[in-house]
Amino acid sequence: MPRLIAALLLVTLAGCAGAPDPVTAFRDTATPIYSNAVLDPARLEGTWRQVGTFASGGGTSGGNRCDGGQVRFGAPQGGRLPVMADLCLDGLRQAFRGEAAVTAPGRFVLAGAKGALAEPWWVLWADHDNRSLVIGTPSGRMGFILDRSAEMPGDRITAAREILDWNGYALSGLRMF
């Protein structure tokens, strides 16, 4: 009987410890994800406005909410790409200033980034005139839509949504700015 009581006590205490907070994933990771295999990093150079992002809880996270940000890509320097980012990701403002290592066509990793920004960035889609981008991550922890202007036209929003859906993202979590 004392062993049974001890075992029950241990199970009860373990239950009180709580589970670690799961990382929010906005895509079904069983769905294959594809990056733009022909993307020339030089096409990214310039300032891009964030016009959409994924957010849990209808665009809030822990009561926080932010507006769209932007990303500025510099001219590629070998396998490095200068990046300045100020983004709204899952309802929280996140910033980065530094370089990204280009790991494959349409794929890069921000050197020394923290949190969701440390995830590998995959360019899932770039329209043929270099006006719009969709960036996602294999983990699905983040995804966002960028445009050269702050007002992305409806046809490109539709295309971006279709690309995200095709790559396993749950569009119910997509928040447009």
State the residue for tokens 């200068």.
Answer: 82
Dig out the tokens for 66 from the structure.
């932010």
Dig out the tokens for 132 from the structure.
């719009």
The fold of 22-176 is Lipocalin (2.40.128)
CB-neighbour burial class of residue 114 (10 A; exposed 0-12, middle 13-18, buried 19+):
exposed
pLDDT at residue number 52: 96
Q: Which pLDDT tens digit goes with each residue over 10-37?
A: 333 333 333 333 457 999 999 999 999 9
The arithmetic mean of pLDDT across residues 76-100, rounded, is 95
Q: Which pLDDT tens digit goes with each residue over 99-111?
A: 999 999 999 999 9
Cβ–Cβ contacts within 10 Å for residue 52, how many?
22
Q: Is the pLDDT of residue 157 over 90?
A: yes
Q: Is the pLDDT of residue 44 over 80?
A: yes
State the residue for tokens 């769905």.
Answer: 31
pLDDT at residue number 10: 34
Let me know: does 98 contact 120? Beta carbons within 8 Å: no
